[in-house]
Homo-oligomer: A and B are copies of this chain.
Amino acid sequence: MDLVPLVLEGHVPAIARMISRAEAAYPEAADALAEIYKHAGQAHIVGITGVPGAGKSTLVSALIKALASAGHKVGVVAVDPSSPFSGGAILGDRVRMSDAAATSGAFVRSMATRGNLGGLARSTLEAVDILDAAGYSPVIIETVGVGQDEVEVASAAHTIVVLSAPGLGDDIQAIKAGILEIADIHAVSKSDKPEAAATVAALQGMMALGAAMTDTRWNPPILAVSSLSGDRVRELVDAISKHWTHLQENDELCGRRHSIARTRILATARHLFQRKFDEGDGSLDGYVEAVIRRAIDPSAAARLLLGWEKNT
């Protein structure tokens, strides 16, 4: 069944089914996804990222409500590194988020990754395309900001919100994760906690450091929010929309679209390459044996596999 016309009309069951096809990476879905990609490109893509336990899902629920009440048709794609052990996504946070979705006309989808290297970035961004083409905007990508694949997904957003939690281990954890520097907006969760002020101060200190090193015109604001009381969620919504306007008015959107497209092509290529062998392409086997025998080293094997060097 051709789901594309239904997706473009915003038909919810068709959107859900199309995302499932993207997630399963059915080869038959490739044409439909290519067609959908051509119709996407209008939505404001917002990444919400932060270490586990920072309160991302709760914040996203609060954002859905605030954005929906301002008249937006909100899409959410939550990336959930699932365990082959548990066989799928862990519920809990997701259930809470669905409540927010149900009352607001938002579309929320949690992606399971099942250890599929590089597939995370690919299927998540295809889900974003689907919601984009279906008329949702903003489309929020919620991702655990740890690990290079996850950072790559977050980097595919026009506006990146990095969420830090007060007193979660120490503030250095977020630095370790290597995501603070990609923030367009810093949010500090649980602003009702007394430790929140220290986290804000730590971020301000780091921003001062960063300012000396970079030369961006957008100065990332730092906002302490409480997702539970809703305190300052409105300000966060304003900051997100201000950043979108900033990108458009300062001719920065082109550059960002360029880096997003570049990252995405390379991530997809790496994924397709990996999948070829995961699906049993036998051309790898001889190299594996040679590497185990230590006749060649892994780099030489990799070059042979890429066709960059001839087998001698």
Contact = CB atoms under 8 A, between A and B. Distances in A.
Contact of A288 (B84, B113, B258): B258
Interface string A259-285: 001101110111111100100000010
A85 B52 contact: no
Chain A interface size band reads: 35 or more
Residue among A38, A125, A148, A209 facing the most chain B CB atoms (10 A cut-off) = A148
B37 A175 contact: no
Given A83-B181, A272-B299, A288-B258, A52 B176 contact: yes
A150 interface: yes
A23 interface: no
Residue among A92, A180, A270 facing the most chain B CB atoms (10 A cut-off) = A270
A30 interface: yes
Contacts of A284: 262, 265-266
A305 interface: yes
A231 interface: no
Interface stretch (A62-70, A194-202, A222-230, A290-298): A290-298
Contacts of A258: 288, 292
A90 to B, nearest CB: 6
Contact of A300 (B34, B113, B273, B306): B34
A33 interface: yes
A142 to B, nearest CB: 13
A82 B148 CA distance: 11
Nearest to A38: B294
Contacts of A71: none
Nearest to A291: B261
Contacts of A33: 297, 299
Interface string A160-199: 0000000001001101111011000000000000000000
27 contacts: A34-B296, A34-B299, A34-B300, A37-B297, A38-B295, A41-B294, A81-B178, A85-B178, A85-B180, A85-B206, A85-B209, A90-B175, A113-B178, A117-B148, A146-B147, A147-B150, A149-B149, A258-B292, A261-B288, A265-B284, A265-B298, A265-B301, A268-B299, A269-B305, A270-B273, A271-B302, A307-B307
Interface of A: 30, 33-34, 37-38, 40-41, 51-53, 80-86, 90, 92, 113, 115, 117-118, 120, 122, 125, 144, 146-152, 169, 172-173, 175-178, 180-181, 206, 209-210, 213, 257-258, 261-262, 264-266, 268-274, 277, 284, 287-288, 291-292, 294-303, 305-308
Please provide the 6 A-B residue pairs with the shortest distance between their CB atoms, ordered closest to farther. A147-B147, A37-B297, A269-B302, A268-B302, A85-B181, A53-B169
